[in-house]
Structure 1
Amino acid sequence: MRSTPDITPHLGQLLKFRRDLHANPELRYEERRTGDKVAAYLTALGLTVHRGLGQTGLVATIHGKGRSKDNPGRCIGIRADMDALPVTEINSFDYASRNQGCMHACGHDGHTTMLLGAATLLAQQPDFDGSVHLIFQPGEEGGAGAKAMMDDGLFEKFPCEAVFALHNWPSLPAGQMAVRVGPIMASTLRFQIKVSGKGGHAAMPHTTLDPIPVACAIVTQLQTLVSRNTDPLDSAVLTVGQITGGTVENIIPDDAIIAGTVRTLKKETREMFIEGMKRISHHVAAAHQCTAEFTLRPGAYPNTTNHAREARFMASVMREAVGDDNTFDDVLPAMTAEDFGFMLEAVPGAYGWIGNGPGGKAGVSLHNPAYDFNDDNLGRGAKFWDLLARRWFEQPAQD
């Protein structure tokens, strides 16, 4: 096995870059400044940058020794997401967000910078037999940016025999890494149920068909899909995050609207929930002489399901990078969702976690206004990606 280059001389530059991204976050499909910064960094490495995939996404390719655009050899993709969240940051450090109501509360600033660190190492010592596509993706936070890049021809323009991604993970101690074969993140779908009745005066409910208690009954019954329809050895989460209806306290409205999400680890469980929600909402409403209209809203993500060979390979690189005691190759899946699942439906690959430890204030989680990426992972993550690319091309190709 060839030795790998040293990331240490580049850590200061990577730290400055990551904190600049954190101070200047951009929401999904608005990552123009971020894209400009990433493109400038890659161009300085001597790479050609292809922009415009998925609106604000970009791709650069590092060719190994003797390889070129016309003769790329075997190719893999490594993906980092770039977008921030509509969250108001409460941190007081000097690189806190300068964009009110927008924050890197999920560590995508770190993901982007880790991949740039890997690009630095791979470009510095391109003594591998193949090509690495560096995929900088927009719109992961509810925008399905992975699918948008694919719809714009990502894997046709940049074919990959495998694709990989990492997410910083606050419940995993810093210095540890994790992956698993099979589903590591849940699918998610967003739904709305509109309950229609007949409004009227609050003092005369008998002359109305009040949709409010009907909506409440539907919410209660929806949870039986988890408690009584889902295999106890499977996992599913149904959350109603919004109920709206009415304009003032003394008027019974015509309509009430329920909105929420469903997260599952199996496609068949997801389909069961869709049919079950339709059935429950329709029949509960009918029992009260009302009607219910069930609709799926935009923003559904598939399961993030790791392919066996690629997940086992990723675990082997993790063990080399952080040691056997710090690698977990059968970690329990999470019910959060990730649009990298779209890529894994099209190309074999794997998605793993790099331990962040508590982000910012002790115990805060992803999407918290006090969250922050652990800068110790800049070097750790860059070295991991560099090692993964080199080790991939050292193993024989699969038919």
Structure 2
Amino acid sequence: MGGCFPCTRAPKTDDKDRIPPTSDKSKPKSSLDLKKQSSLKEKQQISSSGSGRIAAQTFTFRELAFVTRNFRADCLLGEGGFGRVYKGRLESSNQIVAIKQLDRNGLQGNREFLVEVLMLSLLHHPNLVNLIGYCADGDQRLLVYEYMPLGSLEDHLHDPSPDKKRLDWSTRMKIAAGAAKGLEYLHDKASPPVIYRDLKCSNILLDEEYNPKLSDFGLAKLGPVGDNTHVSTRVMGTYGYCAPEYAMTGQLTLKSDVYSFGVVLLELITGRRAIDISRSQGEHNLVAWARPLFRDRRKFSQMADPMLQGQYPSRGLYQALAVAAMCLQEQPSMRPLIADVVTALSYLASQTHNPRNQSNQNIFHLEAPGSPQARLDTETRPSSGSERERSWGSK
């Protein structure tokens, strides 16, 4: 549940990413008046967007303070750069919910709050977290989500408590396939397409059956439409997950999300963090560590998470690594469409591990031993509706 920060030291900002200042200069206003005006303006923006299709409820701060027992410590679920998340039960519906209270001095500001409310109110999919409502009282900003009982993928993969079982291979592929389906909905089904921009393990939440849901849409952006190949924006995200071309130029494409997904998939396979300074020199950055290993098939088994204790299908490991290698191509045009990734991972998630049966057809292979470049050969191609080819060159 960690927060987000600029991927570069000196991010550029543009006017589109800023909340316009109020234009009423007739008389000076008190701080309280300005807070009330800002709160009212946000509510009007939320209500007027989407042609009246906003389904999220509005809550008062008093209501949410009551259901969290005044934000007591024993209701705390997690904490990050954005603020804290509490568990509560709504009086009206008796539903258990997760309530994110944004830090008024934190990294997630008014714009990110508004974007998240709008995005999750208008986008609905089994692999996206469900937004129930929000609160914009004075300077208080809170978001109310469906409660995800198993917490985040990071909790299970990197910070497991003693009572949590380690993720087995089948569960990891199930999580990867579900997260990819969430991205596919944003890229191929939403109109205009949506670039998630902050895919990472802490933003993938799990229900009681380990079904994944993408959460935290404060950095999401509407993708390019028409003849546009990218959208230009300030560089935001989490270090270790940002696509290299986006970090360098600020030009954001759907393939930027595919790169971030490749990092998450590599974390699922290896059990390593995207960035881990506790490891030896040369192994701090997961992608940099993995690139030379992609070139030698004999070293693939060294990349499997030791916590799996060898309980994985060798062919499945090779195939999953091939998908990760494709997603992590430095050239965006070489990365696959997310629909192809869904096809590949859905196949892997459907396979049961039987050590005595390794005769499954190899549907992926690395194209050249000396290069991480990979080619996707699927037995079943996606339907034409998801095969939207785009040109990803610079303007």
TM norm structure 2 = 0.24
Structure ranking higher in strand proportion: 1
The structure with the largest alpha-carbon Rg is 1
- Answer 1 or 2: higher relative contact order, Cα 8 Å, separation at least 6: 1
TM norm structure 1 = 0.24
